[in-house]
A and B are shown apart, each in its own frame.
Chain A
Amino acid sequence: ELKVEQNPLFLSMQEGKNYTIYCNYSTTSDRLYWYRQDPGKSLESLFVLLSNGAVKQEGRLMASLDTKARLSTLHITAAVHDLSATYFCAVDSPSGSRLTFGEGTQLTVNP
């Protein structure tokens, strides 16, 4: 059974600071997704990582994937208040048939 763990689960940071969210998973997979969810809203796709060493960047967010370590990171650079949200990683099963989500990281960026 595929297990996905994120840490931290709660993150409070100041504007302008950098931080990293970690996503560990238990079985082999080479497809990992990052989503953002604002309170009371749906999930919005941020990044799709398809192979070992994949790196994607959009604005102040950068995601990477290390399939050998079964680890993905979401790095936040110079955080701004608009980044406050819950961030989920989701890992595809080896068959590609279903996603398993992490618990989510609730990020609050304070002025």
Chain B
Amino acid sequence: DADVTQTPRNRITKTGKRIMLECSQTKGHDRMYWYRQDPGLGLRLIYYSFDVKDINKGEISDGYSVSRQAQAKFSLSLESAIPNQTALYFCATSDLKGQGKGQPQHFGDGTRLSIL
């Protein structure tokens, strides 16, 4: 079983719809992240959370919101989807103590989102 699970894996929807992408992890990590990947732009950080009560905006948070329901769950919402939010979305996790020792972030398999 994957340590970082994203659902759904693929989603096609229409402009204006509300969409939620979910991420759950079994690694016991305290930090969770949402990224967006577009061709030629690498990965860009949308939101990140260091614990249930800590939510931070990344570089491209406009049009998105998040919820950290539990240490293991971090969901990303698009309140009113628009076509330029079509992208591949990744959830990642890390551990504060491990990060101090240089452990990398661990990524889920991604959600491919298409907005028509």
Given A42-B109, A96-B99, the answer on whether A101 and B104 have CB atoms closer than 8 Å is no
Please indicate the chain B residues that have their CB under 8 angstroms from the CB of A33 in the complex: 104-105
Q: List 24 A-B contacts (CB under 8 A).
A: A9-B40, A33-B104, A41-B109, A41-B110, A42-B90, A42-B107, A43-B43, A43-B90, A43-B107, A45-B104, A45-B105, A45-B106, A50-B102, A88-B42, A90-B43, A96-B99, A96-B100, A97-B50, A98-B33, A98-B45, A99-B105, A101-B42, A101-B43, A103-B40
Please indicate the chain A residues that have their CB under 8 angstroms from the CB of B45 in the complex: 98-100
Please indicate the chain A residues that have their CB under 8 angstroms from the CB of B41 in the complex: 103
Closest to B94 in A: A99
Nearest-neighbour CB distance to chain A for B44, whole angstroms, equals: 7
Please indicate the chain A residues that have their CB under 8 angstroms from the CB of B107 in the complex: 42-43
The answer on a CB contact under 8 Å between A88 and B43 is yes
Compute how far the CA of A9 lies from the CA of B42 in the bound complex, rounded to whole angstroms: 10
Please indicate the chain A residues that have their CB under 8 angstroms from the CB of B33 in the complex: 98
Tell me the chain A residues, 84-111 only, with Cβ under 8 Å from chain B. Answer: 88, 90, 96-104
Compute how far the CA of A97 lies from the CA of B48 in the bound complex, rounded to whole angstroms: 9
Interface residues on A, range: 20 to 34
Compute how far the CA of A101 lies from the CA of B90 in the bound complex, rounded to whole angstroms: 13
The answer on a CB contact under 8 Å between B102 and A98 is no
Q: Is B103 on the interface with A (CB-CB < 8 A)?
A: yes
Closest to A47 in B: B104
Closest to B42 in A: A101
Nearest-neighbour CB distance to chain B for A2, whole angstroms, equals: 10
Closest to B112 in A: A40
The 5 A-B pairs at the shortest CB distance, nearest first, are namely A45-B104, A101-B42, A101-B43, A48-B102, A50-B102
Please indicate the chain B residues that have their CB under 8 angstroms from the CB of A101 in the complex: 35, 42-44
Please indicate the chain B residues that have their CB under 8 angstroms from the CB of A102 in the complex: 42
Nearest-neighbour CB distance to chain B for A98, whole angstroms, equals: 6
From the candidates B50, B104, B108, name the one contacting A48 in the complex (CB within 8 A).
B104
Please indicate the chain B residues that have their CB under 8 angstroms from the CB of A31 in the complex: 102
The answer on a CB contact under 8 Å between B42 and A48 is no
